[in-house]
């Protein structure tokens, strides 16, 4: 049996005792409601920040991309910005579910954060989410007045599907922006949409995220089987990772996506990229937005933020 933390075992036991259908047995609207409900019960209260307000980013097809700005200070000095892309398999997740963790990141790093509410599938299939996040990154890098200060660099970050998006944004935009991508933070990222073995099989059921849920997400997000091989869906398959920004990869020991994160970190290291790798033993996927129910996840988050600050300071 794999090692499971006591607080993780408690929430897993609680969830297994809940009646009703599993996520992969629901329609997307119901699954979104379930994630919202879980977040309201299991996440920590949002800490106060100097400024928190909703903004609209020009989208790639004339639509507005909702986003939320968090500022640790109202100073107007030039500074970098962290763009956060939320998880949820490109189907669920929103600004509210990630409100507390984005405020925590903002305060702990003393850094402006922009949380991006990209379009979701199945209403907007692949590559709509990627297109929105590319547009948002370009917009922030251009120092728009809405940010409140000149932008000196950007840090793509996100968890799960958001980790996938952050990796793709760095691949696509490194060296293409008016300011540098100074670091990236990939939190239990999805990097290989073809993976069926390893941790995907070992933790296929019983650890919150399941293989059946991943299949459900992919079925809603990807229109064709060939999409799984596209580097925007599976950034692990890109030809070269040389020249990528300094990277922090965080994985969880009980996560079906664990091996994908490990593999991506390994490729970055092999390509000569400054890479920090951290794995939380006995921890589950989704833990950074379950910190109220899993107190040890707060320690994991702050350990990551310490590592990320080191990468940013080095840059």
Indicate which residue of 199, 213, 285, 287 is catalytic: 285
Distance between CA atoms of residues 45 and 24, nearest Å: 28
**Distance between CA atoms of 116 and 165, rounded to whole angstroms?**
11
Convert 202-211 to b/e letters by CB count within 10 Å (16 or more is b).
ebbeebbbbb
Q: Distances in Å between the alpha carbon of 282 and those of 34, 160, 188, 256?
A: 24, 17, 14, 13
Question: Are 81 and 71 in contact, with CB atoms under 8 Å apart?
Answer: no
Burial pattern 281-295, b for ≥16 Cβ within 10 A else e, equals ebbbbbbbbbbbbbe
Q: Please, are residues 275 and 302 in contact by the beta-carbon 8 Å criterion?
A: no
Catalytic residue among 100, 160, 199, 287: 160
Helices (H), ranges, 45-154: 99-109, 128-141
Helix ranges (H only) for the chain are 6-16, 28-42, 99-109, 128-141, 161-173, 199-202, 211-221, 258-270, 296-314
Tell the burial category of 146 from Cβ atoms under 10 Å away from its Cβ (0-12, 13-18, 19+).
middle
Pair type for strands 51-58 and 64-71:
antiparallel
285 is catalytic: yes
Task: Report the SS3 class of residue 263.
Answer: helix
Q: Which among 99, 159, 192, 255 is annotated as catalytic?
A: 255
CB 295 within 8 A of CB 7: yes
Contact predicate 276/24, CB 8 Å? no
Give the residue numbers annotated as catalytic, written as ranges. 160, 255, 285
């Amino acid at each position: 049996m794999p090692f499971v933390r006591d607080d993780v075992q408690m929430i897993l036991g609680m969830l297994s005792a809940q009646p009703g259908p599993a996520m992969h047995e629901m329609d997307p609207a119901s699954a979104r409601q379930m994630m919202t409900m879980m977040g309201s019960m299991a996440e920590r209260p949002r800490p106060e920040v100097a400024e928190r307000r909703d903004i609209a980013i020009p989208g790639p097809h004339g639509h507005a991309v909702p986003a939320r700005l968090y500022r640790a200070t109202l100073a107007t000095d030039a500074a970098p910005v962290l763009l956060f892309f939320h998880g949820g398999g490109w189907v669920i997740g929103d600004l509210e579910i990630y409100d507390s963790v984005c405020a925590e990141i903002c305060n702990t790093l003393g850094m402006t954060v922009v949380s991006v509410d990209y379009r979701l599938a199945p209403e907007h299939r692949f590559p709509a989410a990627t297109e929105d996040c590319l547009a948002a990154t370009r917009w922030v890098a251009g120092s728009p007045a809405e940010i409140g200060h000149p932008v000196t660099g950007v840090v793509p970050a996100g968890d799960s599907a958001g980790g996938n998006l952050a990796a793709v944004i760095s691949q696509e935009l490194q060296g293409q922006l008016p300011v540098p991508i100074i670091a990236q933070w990939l939190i239990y990222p999805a990097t290989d949409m073809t993976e069926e073995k390893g941790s995907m099989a070992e933790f296929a059921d019983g650890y919150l995220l399941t293989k059946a849920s991943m299949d459900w997400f992919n079925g809603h997000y990807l229109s064709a089987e060939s999409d799984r091989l596209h580097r925007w869906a599976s950034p692990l398959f890109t030809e070269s990772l040389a020249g990528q920004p300094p990277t922090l990869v965080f994985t969880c020991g009980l996560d079906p996506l664990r091996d994908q994160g490990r593999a991506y970190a390994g490729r970055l290291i092999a390509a000569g990229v400054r890479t920090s790798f951290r794995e939380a033993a006995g921890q589950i996927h989704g833990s950074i937005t379950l910190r109220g129910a899993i107190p040890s996840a707060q320690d994991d988050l702050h350990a990551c933020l310490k590592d990320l600050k080191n990468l940013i300071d080095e840059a």
